[in-house]
Amino acid sequence: MSVLRFDNVSKRYDSGHHALTDVSFEVAPGEMLFVTGHSGAGKSTLLKLIHLSERASRGAVLFGEKNLAKVRGGRIALHRRDVGVVYQDHRLLTDRNVADNVGLPLVLRGMRRGDIAKRVRSVLEKVGLAARANAFPGQLSAGEQQRVGIARAIVSEPKLLVADEPTGNLDPTLSAEILALFASLPERGTSVLVASHDLGLLKRMKKRVLVLNEGRLVDDISPQELAE
């Protein structure tokens, strides 16, 4: 059983623009892969269909056995518990400190405060921000904010993590560290799908790469092919 499956998915925005056309692929449990393509190729749209910021116009997006077309109303929030999202613009709450931002998904889940504090501490250590737990987002660098966003996305150990250009604001050393962190998630059962147009990074990571061109999936490159 795949974690995620796109079956001939197309997305046409209300403007009439066809952002995705007939896209099909599957993600296995514990797999890490990238989606790439030039600006406007449809990478963000593809991720939005997974966390239900947008809906497919045709075809089916399946998350495990669940057809996302049927996930409506209150079930959207439940679905989002299973999908961790790292946004390009972080989307942190500016009036809450780092620890509160990271712990928020666990609060929404009704987890006990003591357990939340433990998990938050552990995940902040992983992203190298343990010392900044009490800082507010406005006091952090762009790269640090990015890492808070990543910590928040992985704190609830989702089945799938989707990240849109997660290393955009980070220097090369930090990018490498964050990607190494992503690459370690599959061992703990989280599949990872990252949108990136950084070809150097894709080559270094040696993971499967989906290539979009004008909304069509034009290549699906295995790690072996990438190494050649």
Ligand X SMILES: Nc1ncnc2c1ncn2[C@@H]1O[C@H](COP(=O)(O)OP(=O)(O)OP(=O)(O)O)[C@@H](O)[C@H]1O
User: Interacting stretch for ligand X, rule CB under 6 A, among 41-49, 55-63, 170-178, 217-225?
Assistant: 41-49
- Residue 221: other Cβ atoms inside 10 A: 17
Q: Contact with ligand X (CB under 6 A): which of 8, 17, 172, 223?
A: 17
Query: Per CB under 6 A, does 39 bind ligand X?
Result: yes
What does the per-residue mask of binding to ligand X show for 175-214, with x meaning CB under 6 A?
----------------------x-----------------
Rounded Cα distance between 34 and 164, Å, is 10
**Backbone angle region of 176, left / alpha / beta, with phi > 0 → left and psi within -120 to 50 → alpha:** alpha
Helices (H), 69-227: 75-82, 98-108, 113-126, 142-154, 172-184, 199-205, 223-227
Report the residue number, 120 or 195, with the smaller CB distance to ligand X.
195
Picking from 150, 162, 176, the residue whose alpha carbon sits closest to that of residue 44 is 162
Query: Per CB under 6 A, does 15 bind ligand X?
Result: yes
The least CB distance from residue 57 to ligand X, in Å, is 12
The least CB distance from residue 208 to ligand X, in Å, is 18
Rounded Cα distance between 61 and 85, Å, is 17
User: Interacting stretch for ligand X, rule CB under 6 A, among 42-50, 95-103, 136-144, 152-160?
Assistant: 42-50
Picking from 176, 171, 102, the residue whose alpha carbon sits closest to that of residue 143 is 171
Q: Contact with ligand X (CB under 6 A): which of 19, 23, 154, 162?
A: 19
User: Interacting stretch for ligand X, rule CB under 6 A, among 39-47, 110-118, 128-136, 173-181?
Assistant: 39-47
* 32-36 β-sheet, strand order: 83-86, 160-164, 191-195, 32-36, 208-213, 216-221
Binding site for ligand X (CB under 6 A): 13, 15, 17, 19, 37, 39-45, 197
